[in-house]
Chains A and B, each alone.
Chain A
Amino acid sequence: MQKFVQLDGLVAPLDRANVDTDAIIPKQFLKSIKRSGFGPNAFDEWRYLDHGEPGMDNSKRAKNPDFVLNQPRYVGASILLVRENFGCGSSREHAPWALEDMGFRVLLGPSFADIFFTNCFKNGLLPICLPVAEIDALFAQALAIPGYKLRIDLEAQTVTRADGKVIHFDVDTFRKYCLLNGFDDIGLTLCRSEKIKEFEARRRIDQPWLFS
């Protein structure tokens, strides 16, 4: 997994609530058996004027000029500002894969759907929850100021605005540790193999019907 320590990034505002994972990466792209290459199809139905299918040359497709992430001022953005319940719906990890492949490393919003939130951490994408008032202020600034950037510091757990205001955010200690070091949590869990084996052995005796 890619490490995440600090980032100075351009901010793109996606101003709608309940953006679901079907919208982030439509189902026809889930037929792929790979983990990469989903970026050009992130938000496919909003981003292009035609209907996308796997295997199309996305560079030749007409883009929807009304979709915010198509605006030239947001090209190269690595921080996505979102509204409540972002990532709801299907558990597809293709959603964080697509966002990351599109260039995002941080999501800033008032709330995220549970499974999506977990999936982000497994892929080096940092979702940050902030109070609604802070998010409202960030939307106002990102829309008003061209080239609007934020500094994200995971070690210090801070978001620093261009005007100098520092906003603290919470993150689980364990997730932070994994992300800061780029640790793969399977490796970490396997360090506990003995404990897992002991647990399993006890369970075989107590609830043998689970092992037939």
Chain B
Amino acid sequence: MIKTLYDKLWESHVVHVEDDGTTLLYIDRHLVHEVTSPQAFEGLKLAGRKPWRVSSIVATADHNTPTKEWEKGIEDPISRLQVETLDANIRESGALVYFPFRDKGQGIVHVVGPEIGATLPGMTVVCGDSHTSTHGAFACLAHGIGTSEVEHVLATQCLLQKKSKSMLVRFDGALGRGVTAKDMVLAFIGRIGTAGGTGYAIEFSGSAIRGLSMESRMTICNMAIEAGARVGFVAVDETTVAYLKGRPFAPKGATWDRAEAYWRTLVSDQGASFDSVVDIDVSRIEPQVTWGTSPEMVVSVTGTVPAPEDFSDPVRREGVERALQYMGLTPRTPINKIPIDKVFIGSCTNSRIEDLREAASIVKGRRVAPTVKLALVVPGSGLVKRQAEAEGLDKVFVAAGFEWREPGCSMCLAMNADRLEPGERCASTSNRNFEGRQGVGGRTHLVSPAMAATAAIAGHFADVRDLI
């Protein structure tokens, strides 16, 4: 039988199917953080239930934690209570591994899981966080779930799901100079729209995907959710296997050989059919910058801010008008004329070591423009931070005028003290440019790390290709 990778991942986890197709899927890995888990643990306790298999749990505090002056602890009492609640819950239940606040392994849950080898091909991975799709880079079925589902997985090690339709996205061609995985995924979302992937499981494939590192593949899968798809994944290849070898929680010895043989079957069979296919020629993609309040509102750095009259659909036109107003932008303004106030390099999309290297290579020997009020680099995890420091990247950033912070979600969603003030405009490597995402009234433009670094130096959006 010819199968897609999605079929294989799905079928290997089916415990039971109801008459209407609702399926009980077994969950291999459960990632837990402080924001979406307290109510789940509480519900479990109230019902007198116990976690089914605590060795499936990888936990860390990331959303609320401060990124500087760790010795002071968490000043905001409400945030502190949430982090302490996670601490109490995990210490009571147990976990495969837990990185509490201030631990040297602490970091964004989606950065931590893969780097320690706790995300392995063929797994189902869930987390009470929509960007769980990140782990799809390892040929995992990785879902974001709500808190009731977190409780459901804690109690039963299963999730109730319905199979999605399948979409194959083929990225072919050669990436241009200065164009990265972030630009590929933004261009893709610009093409199909934020609801374009709703109801689909997306397999990212093609020669351009094969040519990407695991970290870049994670950047792409991370944003599958911004295209409306709950899961996005990439088949196993040499790059996947090489990345995993030697990671602390990856199998060893004879078990590794068995595992590797299995992982190599995690590809779509030749001739497998998909409900939808999208072809993208990456050689035509230029560095991307979002201009609006949805990731689909994106253009090339060489482009201009659109005008409402460019859109014929009245609902869209109104959305564009509202976005322009919120973003404080005039139609037809060239993207490279838009000045910025802040720069944020971080988030589960772009805070891994390669992202920091990419940004540092632009920044090296240059200075952040004096008009930029704050330029932040927030590594994705303690491990990334130490690696970057070993390579001297921290010094490059600091010398250029960036602040070098402790790991966490930080200004991706501004639950801690890192945020935009009303009206401030930010070049951000995160994944969401919704109204208020980085602080009330804040204006977010999504870009790659290289483009964020370029904007920091120029003081406005600019083409990274002019600096390399």
Most buried by B among A17, A18, A22, A111: A18
**Chain B interface mostly helix, strand, loop or mixed?**
loop
Cβ of B144 under 8 Å from chain A: yes
Do residues A115 and B145 form an inter-chain contact, with CB atoms below 8 A?
yes
Do residues B413 and A83 form an inter-chain contact, with CB atoms below 8 A?
no
Select which of A26, A85, A203, A209 is within 8 A of B194 by beta carbon.
Answer: A85
Do residues A45 and B413 form an inter-chain contact, with CB atoms below 8 A?
no
Cβ of A133 under 8 Å from chain B: no
Cβ of B49 under 8 Å from chain A: yes
Per-residue 0/1 for B3-17: is the Cβ within 8 Å of any A Cβ (1 yes, 0 no)? Answer: 000000000000110
Select which of A85, A208, A209 is within 8 A of B198 by beta carbon.
Answer: A85
Select which of A51, A85, A172, A209 is within 8 A of B228 by beta carbon.
Answer: A85
Cβ of A3 under 8 Å from chain B: no
Q: Bound state CA distance, A17 and B315, in angstroms?
A: 7
Interface size range of chain B in the complex: 35 or more
Cβ of B221 under 8 Å from chain A: no
Cβ of B230 under 8 Å from chain A: yes
Per-residue 0/1 for A169-210: is the Cβ within 8 Å of any B Cβ (1 yes, 0 no)? Answer: 000111100000000011001101101100110010001111
Q: Bound state CA distance, A83 and B228, in angstroms?
A: 15
Cβ of A16 under 8 Å from chain B: yes
Known contacts A16-B322, A84-B195, A209-B251; is-contact A22 B15 (Cβ 8 Å): no
Per-residue 0/1 for A1-22: is the Cβ within 8 Å of any B Cβ (1 yes, 0 no)? Answer: 0000000000000001110101
Do residues B315 and A185 form an inter-chain contact, with CB atoms below 8 A?
no
Residues of chain A within 8 A (CB-CB) of B440 are 26, 45, 51
**B binding-site residues for A, Cβ under 8 Å:** 15-16, 18-22, 24, 26, 28, 35-36, 38-39, 42-43, 47, 49, 52-53, 55, 63-64, 76, 78-79, 81-82, 85, 120, 122-123, 128-130, 144-149, 151-152, 155-158, 160, 162, 194-195, 198-199, 228-230, 249-251, 255-256, 258-259, 262, 294, 315-316, 318-319, 322, 413-415, 432, 434-437, 440
Add 19 more A-B contacts to A31-B79, A208-B255 (CB < 8 A). Answer: A17-B316, A26-B440, A33-B39, A33-B81, A35-B42, A45-B436, A92-B36, A118-B145, A119-B148, A172-B22, A174-B18, A174-B19, A175-B22, A185-B160, A186-B49, A189-B24, A190-B156, A192-B15, A196-B157
